[in-house]
Chain A
Amino acid sequence: MSKKVLIADDEQNIVISVEFLMRREGFEVSVAHDGEAALERIRADKPDLVLLDVMMPKKNGFDVCQEVRADPAYAGTRILMLTARGRDTEVAKGLALGADGYMTKPFSTKDLVDKVRELLG
């Protein structure tokens, strides 16, 4: 059975590419455009991996990550943060809050696929 990936990002222009890429890579893909929608989808779909943007309306990626990690039911859900904010303190913060990986835009799609496969190993 194919693994489930949730793309949580409010920017349609990146969602188009990542969604296309993930489907082509054989994943089952769902999309959320804000933080709250992302939490709903995580609860409903129990994705194996969340590609989580930091700057989102309603609830930012850090908060979503923190809430997911607070619930042991989702301990197996991998979280890869994708963000346009590249300060190393923010990377450290994401990892400290329980993210499994952190990629800064602009990233290479090949690196993204490699990272996703590694996390879902």
Chain B
Amino acid sequence: MKLTPERRLYIATAAVGAFAAGLLWVAVKLTQSAAAGQEDATAALFVVGLFAVAAAYAVLKPLVDLFVRAPAALAEETRIVIRDSARRVKPVGGVEIQALAEAINELAGRRQSLEEDVAAEIARAQASLEADRNRLAVLMAELRQSVVVCNLDGRILLYNQRAREILSAGVGSELIGLGRSLYAVFERSLIAHALDQVGRRLQAGETSPATEFVTTTPAGRLLRVHLAPVTGHREGDGGDGDVSMTGYVLLLDDITLTFEKENKRDALIQSLTEGGRGPLGNIRAAAEMLNNYPDMEAEQRARFLSVIRNEVEGLSGRVEQASKAYARELSARWKLEEMRGADLVAFAVARVSARCGLPVKEEDIDDGVWMKVESFSFLQVLCYLTARLRDEYEVSEVRLSLSSDGEHACLDLGWLGTAINSETVMNWEIEPMRSAGEDSPLSVRDVLDRGNGEMWFQRKRASHRAAFRFLLPLAQPPEQKVAAAEVARGSRPEYYDFDLFSWSEKSHTLDDRLLSELDYTVFDTETTGLEPSNGDEIIQIGATRIVNRRLLTHEVFDQLIDPCRHLPEASVKIHGITPEMLVDQPPIGKVLPQFRAFCADTVLVAHNAAFDMRFLQLKEQATGIRFDLPVLDTLLLSAVLHPNQESHRLEAIAERLGVIIVGRHTALGDAFVTGEVFLKMVPLLAEMGIHTLGQAREAAEKTYYARVQY
């Protein structure tokens, strides 16, 4: 039976009271005896006193253990459990304290399972997000169209490989990248105008408020740009209120080729229509003269006839030219696939034998032949011809062979025996393909014309073998293309960062902006020596970018430079760049404009930046390129963070901050290390109260190292 706390209190009070009363009674009696002069009584009183203390200790000790020590220990253990919900407290102390411990354990158990649930939920959400990201990355990579997504400031939040190719093509450096300004590629006013149009359409409540315009890229490509708004609640709006434009999507089509093609086709049509008017007018007039004035002199008549002859000849030539151009145009428009010839033959064997019910054999197949062919129609051709051979010439087996004559793929559809006369071949060629389950309005001739192919009938008398020979255009085996695509796919580039949507650069001046929200170009140079003012030159620039606290290892600038001077042997040992490697590299005057474009709208970061900046500044006058961007130096920042450390060399800092060094002593390798180091420094600086660019610059300027001059 469990006693209630009240009853335990009564019992304990009664027990302690009875015990104390007993002691008191013994003490009083002994005191009276001592007063009566009994010596033993004094000693007995002393013993009773000792006994009382021992008894008090014996009573209080377990009480303190049970009700003071146990709760204190429980509190400590509970604190541990707060940090690690997998731990449990030990049930010690009194029954109540043990009950409390059990309750705490139960609570910890519930929290643990909740935490596990949350962790599992987060893991699931992350996996789903990751899957979405992968899908998006693949989708973006495979899109034929170029896509760029920007926020309202023109910062790029997403782009795909095709956009990068189109927009950076022929310029020599990357013009687009995450967090970069779109205005490096497109004129600001052009985008502003388009956004204005879209804004009006949004306000007017149009269902598709997108707009389109045509513009040129820095490299002179002609682009059709489709701009559609991205709408949403602006950050800080609290999620309610009006939906407004937060950014926009650009779909880009390179219409340079289409435009050229359309121009060509227009010219073609014009050469036949407008261009035909003059000659026809001349012929008509001359013919009418001959007809209307039969009495004219022979000499005059001869002149008119000559006009007609000349003009007709000219016109014939014109028509001939136009039809050739048209054929070229047509075959260019017909979607020809590039495929391995052996694959086409394998398809053909399966399809022809299934459709025609004849054995089809492969012989002499050249595996190295790649061809351009519209495979669907071409397989129809093979089925159709085989069916007619079977039905009209009782052919019971066909063979396919494949070779190349150097300029064309040669595919033979052969059989034993019967020859076919040329009239039949011609009829088969020009009739619509309707047999063997094929029902095409096209003829063999149509398919061949559109695919830029040819065919004829040939026969080897000695072997009694007959065949239709098809000539098809050759294609390059796509090894290089595949390799390039694999590289792009193998490592997924950081092509998008939607967190940038909510960024606005208008909110702060640069110095007031947080280090954690700025974009950086981290760079390093390799040089012919250490004295820029004594004629040493840059021979390599490597740079990467930090956007939204991420080092973008796919957005790099990596360029060797011809220093136009001797390269000292001593320096080769440091950077490993030999004079041969610099042959045919561009001079600094060509590279600096590209590098400046790469750095646009960012803060420069370098290790011992003063050294690199000095080289760049010495070129300002000659190149007209000014590097007037804010600069942060990891050497100085290291001195700010750890003023008592002896070394602020990049290796030493990297080691201190736990950055693993790979590929040092190439400009790009060092830029990567510097970037990693810088990213580690930002939170450490924040702990020291250095949050903004202005604060970081000010702190760096106060260090001893800031006084070193180059």
Contacts and interface: CB of A to CB of B under 8 A. Distances in A.
A86 B272 CA distance: 13
A107 B300 CA distance: 21
Interface stretch (B59-67, B277-285, B499-507): B277-285
Contacts, number: 64
A108 B288 contact: yes
B293 interface: yes
A31 interface: no
Interface stretch (A15-23, A62-70, A72-80): A15-23
Given A11-B282, A14-B285, A17-B285, A106 B307 contact: no
Interface string B270-310: 00001101101111111011001100100010011001001
Contact of B281 (A16, A24, A106): A106
A17 B307 contact: yes
A105 interface: yes
A107 B289 contact: no
A24 to B, nearest CB: 6
A52 to B, nearest CB: 14
B362 interface: no
A118 B300 CA distance: 28
Contact of A16 (B274, B278, B288, B303): B303
Contacts of A20: 289, 293, 296, 300, 304
Contacts of A86: 274, 277
Q: Provide the main secondary structure of the chain B interface.
A: helix
A106 B285 CA distance: 8
Contact of B280 (A16, A85, A106): A106
B58 to A, nearest CB: 122
B277 A16 contact: no
Interface in A29-77: none
A17 to B, nearest CB: 4
A56 to B, nearest CB: 12
A109 B650 CA distance: 92
- Scoring A14, A104, A107 by chain B CB atoms within 10 A of each residue's CB, the highest score goes to A14
B293 A105 contact: no
B307 A13 contact: yes
B311 interface: yes
B274 A109 contact: no
Contacts of A14: 278, 281-282, 285
Nearest to A87: B274
Contacts of B281: 14, 84, 105-107
A84 B288 contact: no
Interface in B627-643: none
B286 A24 contact: no
Contacts of B288: 17, 108-110
Contacts of B296: 20
Contacts of A21: 285, 289
Contacts of A11: 278, 282
Contact of B289 (A17, A84, A104, A105): A17
Nearest to B277: A84
A107 B292 CA distance: 15
Contacts of A107: 281, 284-285
A99 B146 CA distance: 51
Interface of B: 274-275, 277-278, 280-286, 288-289, 292-293, 296, 300, 303-304, 307, 310-311
Given A13-B307, A20-B296, A105-B281, 11 more contacts: A13-B311, A14-B278, A14-B281, A17-B286, A17-B304, A20-B289, A84-B275, A84-B277, A84-B278, A105-B278, A106-B280
* The 8 nearest A-B residue pairs measured at CB: A105-B281, A17-B285, A106-B281, A84-B277, A84-B278, A106-B280, A13-B282, A106-B284
Interface of A: 11, 13-14, 16-18, 20-21, 24, 84-86, 104-110
